[in-house]
Structure 1
Amino acid sequence: MAGHGSKTVILAALGGNALIAGTKFVAAAFTGSAAMMSEGIHSLVDTGNQILLLYGMRQAARPATAEHPFGYGLRLYFWAFVVAILIFGLGAGLSILHGIEKIRDPHPIQDAWVNYIVLALGIVFEGAVWMVAFKAFRAEKGDGGWIAAIRASKDPTIFTVLFEDSAALLGLVTALIGIALAQTLEMPILDGVASVIIGIILALTAAFLAYECQSLLTGEGVSAPVRASIRSIAAAGNGVERINESLTMHFGPNDVLVALSLDFSNTLPAAGVEDTVSAIERAIKAAHPDVTRVFVEAQSFEAHRRSLVEAAQG
């Protein structure tokens, strides 16, 4: 499941979004700003999303049962995917619809200074939450590039919050510019345009998050360096002549299944095979603490090849 750092990031985001969501709605009702209403919707959706992520983490922590022998870790990925759908359906959809309504029926913003105060506070709060998520993700990513780290990350909670808050900051700046232009140029239609742009930002964010989460949900393996390390450890086992197959799958950010098909020397006794299998399992888990299960199949290369051919034909 996700670690303590992930929970801290989510709680920080939950507190920040809950704090500002109500303020945005009050400001929107007071001033009649479509962009501010979109921002209120955005913060409300984000607050709900953090609750769902916390629920997903709790579900993922449940112990394995006979019905779910590999545990419930994949539920975290499911709820992260639901979060992406909610950002798209509620956040982006309602923001765009509200903006179109304002474009069709533009009306001046009343007491715009209220919006400026709320947006400034929003930038402060969202910025603080963004820094928490940014620091957590930077610690996780190591020395790799940002995009590569996001693609390689198996913990959707951190990068989901990071992208949510990035979208929130962009939305706040967009709302600020839209309201300022609408007031300065006396073109209230620009307030509606800002709302539509906020919706588009949310839609793009949701699309990226959905793509990453569905990949995790449908079964991602470990990174190439970890795969190479596992194969190297297996190949070094006493009596191992060939690695027929090496499969891995993440059942959670820190829950990896490894399945190996190994061709052992015909001269190695059964007890020797058992000792080698135990040694390989210990070595893999010691080198990679996220590996929680290692299954080793002893099979000749020819038998393994025949099984693959039969599986492809049948």
Structure 2
Amino acid sequence: MSNLDRRPAARELGGLDGTTARPVLDLLPGKDVILGESTHVRRLLPTLGRRMVGAWAFVDHYGPDDIADGSGMQVAPHPHTGLQTVSWLLEGEVHHRDSLGSDVRFGPGQLALMTAGHGIAHSEQSPHAHPRFLHGAQLWVALPDAHRDTTPDFEHHATLPGWTSDGLTTTVLMGSFGGATSPGAAYTPLVGVDLDLSAGADVEVPLEPDFEYGLLASSGAVTVEGAPLGRGAMLYLGTGRTSLRLSAAEGSKLLLLGGEPFEERLVMWWNFVGRTGEEIADYAEQWNAQSDRFGAVVGFDGARLEAPPLPPVPLKPRGRER
């Protein structure tokens, strides 16, 4: 999914100076953003006070939206570099096309994982005949320097591993959790898990003490270590935890994201991840010039997105926190 902001802020991410070396419960303030023609999302990363959780650099949560009488998600072809997109649906269906020739429809519980690497373009649409509701999350994972120029790739995994215990059902999107390992390619130590809690569940889930974590309430409402977390909100949990206590009075779904703190500094602007402002400017120029770096998306009926003007000021290091 694209960042469609026409005046996107340039952000420098990464570095251990902003990592919280202890457990915390910090509520992350998100903001409402419109994507494409009509999709409203809650942008939870990057946000005021927190720019990354492990290698997770971007978190959008959208829906549930009633799109029975509308077109749903309509995001025109746009580019990416230096990252992976992780698409996760709870309701609905999305049609993905990219410049590798991928042409895939995916639905709830399926992993759509695109590794941009050197450069790729893609589009995302709700099919013409689509389910009534659209609900999901769009996530970006920053690629480390050794792999940020890797050959682009797209993976679609219709089934994913997980386990069920004591009113909790887990589905592992990325990395490993509780003995289950996702088939999705990962380039840094990280984890992404869908946690489905039944009404009345009171559970303790295992964590890695060297990972930092964030927890998004996709639906319902839960209590996290005694603190309430409502739908659409996200908690930053810090590091140093070996477990996490969760309880739910109603059926609820959570998205647990974690990983080793990302050591490298990187620049994220619009849909590009790089290391310098000059590099980002070059990506934008190549995209607008229709360079072979990104290729073309075949089958999309409409114009592609153009990169917006770059900020008028040079980029300055800001670290992981403001």
TM-score of the aligned structures, taking structure 1 as reference length = 0.22
Which of the pair has more CA radius of gyration? Answer: 1
Whose helix proportion is higher, 1 or 2? 1
The structure with the largest strand share of the pair is 2
Q: Which structure has more RCO (C-alpha within 8 Å, separation ≥ 6)?
A: 2
